[in-house]
Amino acid sequence: MTKHLGKLATAAFALAAAVGVADAHELACTKLVNGQSMVTIDKYPATLQYTFTVRNTHPTDASDVLGVLDAMLGSGWSFDPKPPFQLPVGGSATSSATITINRYEDCQRLAYHEPYIDGGSTHTALMNTLHVKWDLGAAQCSAMVMCKLPLPPPPPDPPPPWSPTRDAGFWKTHEPALGQCLAGGPVELGAMKVATLPEALGLLWGSPSRFLNGVARTGADKARFLLSRQALVGACNERLFGAAPAPAGLRADVQAALLGSDEARQRSLAAKLGTFNSSREAVALPSGFVAGTATPAHARSIAVDHTTPSDQGSK
């Protein structure tokens, strides 16, 4: 009997020893996304860099890693090194995976690979879990990605307040304002430059039909004169008020036309520029700008039309 009990004790000891060896296989894991346990994204596409670390936590024995699974990554992903593999005492192994969330809906779709879903109207909590298996147990670790609906684009900057314009009637009677315009340097009008107050007033007060000496202008000279007048007015509107001629490119077209001989083109551009120069007369002049008192009689008295006949066109 005693001998039989001794055999039983020996078998029990062996079983206990065997169980103890099995229990020695102990593992833990850590999962991070972009180096953190939780990240929030609200701009898409977003790149998520996952890192997975499996550690042997037993103080004295090696542990066998029998499986590493991540439901969200699916069967196309495998831990590297591929299980099964053994970790020595104090050993660990790290693997990684990169996914791109192209849009908010992709995050919602991926979230349904795991039971941990928090799908609100404005966010989705994507908390997938890594499962690490050994012979008698398993370890789990998770990382969370909080996906938010993309932020709406910021509203466009409000358009700047319209800069004022004034037509030829304003500039021909307000000598101080016209003088401030010319203080910025001569105004180039094709082959002609207007540099002084009398020259500028000469364009504004001069007769489109006749030169200063009474000689009649040809149709081409008249068209060029009218376009030069509007170009001078446009230059002053831009210099002092920041009102760039519209549409874009009109200024360059005007300069090219003044150098050419296309009478119809000159008349068309004079009309367009004239419309622009009078388009914002209801807009107040800039604060601090001093236009001066209108002095039409004096302005006319010092005006000198220095344009000269050309050999283009006919009367």
pLDDT of residue 149: 85
Q: Can you give the pLDDT at residue 189?
A: 93
Q: Looking at the chain, which residues constitute the CATH 2.60.40 domain(s)?
A: 25-148
**Helix/strand/coil for 94:** strand
Q: Which CATH number fits domain 25-148: 2.40.50, 2.40.10, 1.20.1070, 2.60.40?
A: 2.60.40
Kindly report the pTM of this predicted structure.
0.51
Q: Kindly list the averaged pLDDT for each block of 10 residues, start to end, along the chain of length 315.
A: 38 34 70 94 92 94 93 86 95 95 86 50 77 92 89 73 91 96 94 94 96 92 96 95 81 91 94 92 91 95 91 50
Q: Contact, 24 vs 60, CB < 8 A?
A: yes
Task: Tell me how far apart the alpha carbons of residues 275 and 174 are, in angstroms, rounded to a whole number.
Answer: 20
Contact by Cβ (8 Å): 116, 15: no
Cβ neighbourhood burial of 161 (10 Å; 0-12, 13-18, 19+) = exposed
- Residues 240 and 259: their CA atoms lie apart, in Å, by 25
H or E element, residue 51: strand 46-56
Phi, psi of 220 (to 5 degrees): -70, -40
Q: Spell 132-156 as b/e; 16+ CB within 10 A means b.
A: bbbeeeebebebbbbbeeeeeeeee
Predicted pLDDT of residue 254: 92
**What's the DSSP call for residue 161?**
P
Which tokens is 178 given? Answer: 């016209």
User: Which token pair is 123?
Assistant: 């966010």
Task: List C-alpha distances in Å: 232 to 3, 73, 179, 199, 289.
Answer: 126, 70, 12, 11, 19
Residue bearing tokens 């364009």: 203
DSSP symbol at 184: T
- Are 62 and 88 within 8 A, CB to CB? yes
Sign of CA dihedral 303, 306, 308, 314: negative
State residue 312's pLDDT score.
55
What was the pLDDT predicted at 196?
96
Burial of 171 (0-12, 13-18, 19+ CB in 10 A): buried
Whether the Cβ atoms of residue 238 and residue 277 lie closer than 8 Å to each other: no
Per-residue pLDDT at 160:
64
Can you tell me the distance from the alpha carbon of 162 to that of 165, in angstroms, rounded to the nearest whole number?
A: 9
Instruction: Please list the residues that pair with 117 across neighbouring strands.
Output: 126
